[in-house]
C-alpha cells in the first residue's frame, strides 16, 4: 500500500473498532507497518471519527522519531518493539474491550476457548508483566507475552492484537474479546454457579484478583 492508503487504513480501522464496540472514545491505538523502517500510528488522544488520514503519524521503528506537528500515541514503543521482534507482523492494535480488560486486570492467562482462537491467536493468551505506560517494563513484558502468539493481555491495561494485515489484526482483537467473554462466563459459573454474569459478578470474581 502507498503511504496515503496506509493512513486511510489506520483511520478506517479506528472507526471499525469504535463501531464494533472494541474500543471507547479516544482509548486504544493502532499501527500499520509502512515499510521496514517506518510505521503509521494513530495520534495521541484524538477521536477516531474526527481523526483524518493526515493526522496519522509516520514514526521511525528504530528511533521512534517523527516529523509531524501531531503527537503520536504514547504507546508507540510497544508497536515498534513488536515490529522489530516480529518481521512478519504488519499491523498492531491495542484496545480495552470490557471482558478482555477484566481478564487483563486479573493478570490471568486465558486458555484456548475455541478453534477460532487457536487459529487466530496461536494458542493461549498470556499476560504481559505490569508496567506503567510507555515504560520498558510494559514494552518488554508485551513482547515476551506475544512470543509465538498474535495477541496478549497487558496487566491492568487491556490487550494487544497483531496480524499480517490490519484486517487480520482486527479479527484477532475480535476473537480475543469473544474468547474473554466465554472465559469470564466459565469462571463466574465455577465461582458463583451461574451461566450468565452481572457487573457485580465481574468485579467480584475478576477485579478482586487485582494486585
Active site residues: 75
> Distances from the Cα of 67 to the Cαs of 7, 13, 110, 142, in angstroms?
15, 23, 39, 27
The strand pair at 151-154 and 127-128 is best described as parallel
> Distances from the Cα of 130 to the Cαs of 72, 144, 156, in angstroms?
22, 12, 7
DSSP annotation of 51: -
150: burial class by Cβ within 10 Å (0-12, 13-18, 19+)?
Answer: buried
User: Nearest 10 degrees: CA dihedral of 112, 104, 94, 17?
Assistant: 80
| CA of residue 53 relative to chain centroid, distance | 21
Residue carrying C-alpha cell 490487550: 159
Dist. CA 33–CA 62, nearest whole Å: 12
Amino acid at each position: 500500500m502507498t503511504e496515503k492508503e496506509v493512513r486511510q487504513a489506520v483511520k478506517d480501522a479506528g472507526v471499525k473498532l469504535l463501531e464494533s464496540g472494541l474500543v471507547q472514545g479516544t482509548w486504544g491505538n493502532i499501527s500499520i507497518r509502512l515499510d521496514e523502517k517506518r510505521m503509521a500510528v494513530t495520534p495521541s488522544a484524538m477521536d477516531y471519527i474526527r481523526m483524518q488520514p493526515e493526522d496519522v503519524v509516520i514514526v521511525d521503528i528504530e528511533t521512534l522519531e517523527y516529523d509531524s506537528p501531531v503527537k503520536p500515541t504514547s504507546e508507540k514503543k510497544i508497536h515498534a518493539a513488536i515490529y522489530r521482534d516480529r518481521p512478519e507482523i504488519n499491523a498492531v492494535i491495542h484496545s480495552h474491550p470490557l471482558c478482555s480488560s477484566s481478564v487483563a486486570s486479573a493478570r490471568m492467562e486465558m486458555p484456548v476457548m475455541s478453534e477460532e482462537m487457536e487459529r487466530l491467536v496461536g494458542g493461549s493468551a498470556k499476560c504481559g508483566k505490569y508496567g506503567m505506560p510507555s515504560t520498558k517494563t510494559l514494552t518488554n513484558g508485551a513482547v515476551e507475552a506475544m512470543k509465538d502468539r498474535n495477541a496478549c493481555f497487558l496487566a491492568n491495561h487491556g490487550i494487544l492484537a497483531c496480524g499480517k494485515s490490519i484486517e487480520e489484526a482486527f479479527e484477532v482483537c475480535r476473537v480475543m474479546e469473544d474468547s474473554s467473554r466465554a472465559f469470564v462466563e466459565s469462571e463466574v459459573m465455577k465461582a458463583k454457579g451461574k451461566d450468565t454474569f452481572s457487573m457485580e459478578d465481574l468485579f467480584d470474581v475478576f477485579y478482586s484478583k487485582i494486585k
